[in-house]
Amino acid sequence: MGYVLVEKGKIVAVSSDSIENTGSVEIEGMGKMLFPGCFDPHVHFRDPGFTYKEDFHTGSLAAVSAGITSVFDMPNTNPPVFTVENLEQKRKIAESKSVCNYGLFFGAGEKNVEEIKKAKNVPGVKLYLNSTTGNLKMNNETVWRDVFQLGKKVVLHAEGETFFRAVEIWKEEEFPCELHLCHASLRSEIDFVREMKKNPQAKGKISVEVCPHHLLLTHADQEKYGAICCMKPLLAMKEDLIALWEGVSDGTIDFFATDHAPHTLDEKKASDELGQTPIYGVPGVETFFPLLFTQFQQRNLSFQHLANMTSLSAKTIYHVQDKKGLIEVGFDADIFMFNPSVKTNVEPQKFFSKSPWSPFDRWDITGKVEKTFVGGRLVFDQGKIIDFESRGNELRFLN
């Protein structure tokens, strides 16, 4: 049993004894759990450019309906975030549409080092080393070196070999920046990061995330279900999935992310037809926490560890300056109430996303997000968005 008092968007008291109520609204949560709002450090809200798939408003509604109160949006929009002007354009979009808090990644292009230098308040610079949605793949290793040398955090879309090569170059350049591997999917990547973290020069500078689909699905699912199980990196083997869970348990993997990459179901179905190039990506924010909670319960992993990997860890590794990620006095009241007792199913038709489908359609899940607060404002309550109007803040980063 515990009590939390929130005033003006901040947590002002936390106690196991009842707190004297001086006229505030009281919310009863007997039998429920309170978690710090999730950070999802990897989403594609498609705004600007592909707003028929998602936009910052619908993406953020989908996020808060699932306990995610802060997101970091990827730069493969149209135009991609390659210039300060593009960044400012996206900033205006997020400011006017986002119900949750947000950070905006910058993209590394062939000739935009000067722009990257000028970019202010970004979580990092995304460097694509493999093909995926958006054609931002960068083969030129000189550019990799130049981007590393800028000293901003570099966030890699790299898969196996390209990741190992990037780390080789990072070493040759003498570790000039922090390096983060997005959506790890292979045993070889996890084993490699585990070893790197023992290297005193790399320690504290290398991090890795994993997505629920790589933890729960394998290549066999793509063979069986086709495009709705097709994303980059592709689903791997059972052996890889086992290694990812080992990495979750032993702390090699730093945090979870969704890689929420919505496309319409029609687009996905069309890509199943012969001769079509695959269209990579699956929506993920609305299944994120319930799937992970269910797994942590089944695998007897601690919910403290879950809370860390869905919230505080990403906030710390990305050097978010706001006080978020814990339910403690002085922290922002980004919180959600979770009912761990109910058994439900994934129901994509109820999603707030513009792309309401899921590779986890009808999967059994334990627990349900019941209420989500962003900065103390109740925005989602018992299946409904109750505040469409309030807006989250841009998170503050070190650079």
Interacting residues with Zn ion (CB under 5 A): 259
Looking at the Cβ atoms of 187 and 232, the one nearer to ligand NCD is: 232
Burial readout 267-296 (b: 16 or more C-beta within 10 A, e: otherwise): bbeebeeeeeebbbbbbbbbbbbbbbbbbb
Looking at the Cβ atoms of 152 and 260, the one nearer to Zn ion is: 260
Cα gap 369→367, rounded to integer Å: 7
Please identify the residue of the shown chain whose CB is closest to the bound Zn ion: 259
Query: Please, what is the minimum distance in Å from the beta carbon of residue 110 to ligand NCD?
Result: 19
Query: Please, what is the minimum distance in Å from the beta carbon of residue 218 to ligand NCD?
Result: 16
Which listed option, ligand NCD, Zn ion, none, makes contact with residue 280 (CB within 5 to 8 Å by class)?
ligand NCD
Looking at the Cβ atoms of 179 and 374, the one nearer to ligand NCD is: 179
At CA 229, angle to CA 193 and CA 357, rounded to 5? 120
Burial readout 370-398 (b: 16 or more C-beta within 10 A, e: otherwise): bbbbbbebbbbbeeebeeeeebbbbbebe
192 close to 245: Cβ distance less than 8 angstroms? no
Looking at the Cβ atoms of 124 and 367, the one nearer to Zn ion is: 124
Query: Please, what is the minimum distance in Å from the beta carbon of residue 43 to Zn ion?
Result: 8
End-to-end alpha carbon distance in the chain: 40
Bridge-based pairing state of the strands 364-374 and 255-256: unpaired
The answer for residues whose C-beta is within 8 angstroms of residue 324's C-beta and 6 or more apart is 36, 37, 39, 69, 70, 101, 311, 315, 331, 332, 334, 395
Query: Please, what is the minimum distance in Å from the beta carbon of residue 45 to Zn ion?
Result: 11
Looking at the Cβ atoms of 122 and 231, the one nearer to ligand NCD is: 231
Q: Residue 266 class from Cβ within 10 Å (0-12 exposed, 13-18 middle, 19+ buried)?
A: exposed
Query: Please, what is the minimum distance in Å from the beta carbon of residue 81 to ligand NCD?
Result: 13
Looking at the Cβ atoms of 231 and 337, the one nearer to ligand NCD is: 231
Cα gap 220→239, rounded to integer Å: 12
Which listed option, Zn ion, ligand NCD, none, makes contact with residue 156 (CB within 5 to 8 Å by class)?
none
Looking at the Cβ atoms of 230 and 333, the one nearer to ligand NCD is: 230
Looking at the Cβ atoms of 131 and 399, the one nearer to ligand NCD is: 131
70 close to 392: Cβ distance less than 8 angstroms? yes
**What is the contact surface with ligand NCD in residues (CB under 6 A)?**
44, 76, 132-134, 157, 231-232, 259, 261, 280-281
Looking at the Cβ atoms of 109 and 134, the one nearer to ligand NCD is: 134
Which listed option, Zn ion, ligand NCD, none, makes contact with residue 76 (CB within 5 to 8 Å by class)?
ligand NCD
Query: Please, what is the minimum distance in Å from the beta carbon of residue 239 to ligand NCD?
Result: 22
Whole-number Cα distances in Å, 80 to 198, 249, 264: 36, 36, 20
Which listed option, ligand NCD, Zn ion, none, makes contact with residue 133 (CB within 5 to 8 Å by class)?
ligand NCD
Q: Residue 258 class from Cβ within 10 Å (0-12 exposed, 13-18 middle, 19+ buried)?
A: buried
Cα gap 300→366, rounded to integer Å: 14
Cα torsion angle, 177, 215, 59, 293, sign:
negative
Please identify the residue of the shown chain whose CB is closest to the bound ligand NCD: 281
Query: Please, what is the minimum distance in Å from the beta carbon of residue 357 to ligand NCD?
Result: 14
Query: Please, what is the minimum distance in Å from the beta carbon of residue 86 to Zn ion?
Result: 18
Which listed option, Zn ion, ligand NCD, none, makes contact with residue 232 (CB within 5 to 8 Å by class)?
ligand NCD
Query: Please, what is the minimum distance in Å from the beta carbon of residue 134 to Zn ion?
Result: 9
